[in-house]
A and B are shown apart, each in its own frame.
Chain A
Amino acid sequence: MTDPTPDAPEPFDEAEYRRRQRSRANLMAVLLFALALLFFFITIAKMTVLK
């Protein structure tokens, strides 16, 4: 069976858009926090090694 209107845009799924946006924002927050911690511990480790 062929699509009767092949060029018509698919209906926009607002809920899916928001879900993905939220999950990416949450992941980014966790990653940024983890990076801040990592950089803090790297700095402390380098100070310890230098001593």
Chain B
Amino acid sequence: MAQSLTHGETALPADWRDLFALTKPRVMSLVVFTALCGLLAAPGQVHPVLAFSSILAIALGAGASGALNQWYEAGLDARMKRTAGRPLPAGRLDPQTALQFGVGLAAFSLFLMLFASNWQATLLLAASILFYVFVYTMWLKPRTPQNIVIGGAAGAFPPLIGWVAATGSVAPLPVLLFLLIFLWTPPHFWALALFVRSDYAAAGIPMMPVVAGEKSTRRQILAYALIMAAAAIAPWPLGYAGALYGWVAVVLSALFVLLSLQVGTRTAREGDAMTPEKRLFAFSIAYLFVLFGAVVADHWWPL
């Protein structure tokens, strides 16, 4: 567990920048964007203030999940180069403050969602926070290499919550978007895990490359990329999205599969720069942003 930043008997109050960093702002940006797309692609109109408040509630819920994740994993983070500079392992924040901040933020995000939207969206938001903290962070991550496969569901909730916040009910399109993020998560994280493998191994986290080896991980990245591409294109032939979305999905998914093919068929040597893996990781983020943008564009300007 991280040491608290104390001077003698008195702890320094946490700096707000460290509390902000606890919410994993970069992850939150993707969550906010996919949730917003889910909300904007839903049929009917939502009052802008209610839409803003719902998205804010989802962002705060994601921030709370990130804070609770960092609170629980402070010890692990200290052992990884990539995460050792975070506020808790670096000793800039004490664990008690982080825990209180995370729980408080989670409770507030649910209250805000209930006040601005409906109980269905609130229930989904609560489920996603609890799933991320208890199922992914505490249960799956330290135990199984399938951690991010099942845990990916937590990150797949936002577009579904956005849609439900706007309509009060679930429909096939947001379920397909949920499925898309769920299937996108393994190739995205395993591409990262391939080039920070030693970090995960040092922390004792059973990520796929650490447990099953590189070759198996590369094969699985390719397999998941193929299934994900099918799920990404599916809304078009099924009639839940138009040609604009369909063509964007076809082109981007083909590129995703191509980059995954490069990763899936190569063998890294000692001191390898891991360029294809880094390229796939970076592209996977852009892929999700553009694809979700296309969902909204297709809803507003159908071809």
Contact = CB atoms under 8 A, between A and B. Distances in A.
B50 A12 contact: no
B303 interface: no
The interface residues of chain A, by DSSP majority, are classed as helix
A4 interface: no
B50 A16 contact: no
Nearest to B11: A17
Given A20-B15, A23-B15, A13 B7 contact: yes
B16 A12 contact: no
Interface residues of B, number: 17
Given A17-B12, A39-B115, A9 B50 contact: no
Contact-size category for A: 20 to 34
B16 A23 contact: yes
B239 interface: no
Interface string A33-46: 00000110110111
B47 A49 contact: yes
A11 interface: yes
A49 B13 contact: no
B13 A10 contact: no
Q: Which 3 A-B pairs have the closest CB atoms?
A: A9-B8, A45-B49, A12-B7
10 contacts: A16-B12, A20-B12, A20-B13, A20-B14, A20-B15, A24-B13, A24-B14, A24-B16, A45-B48, A46-B50
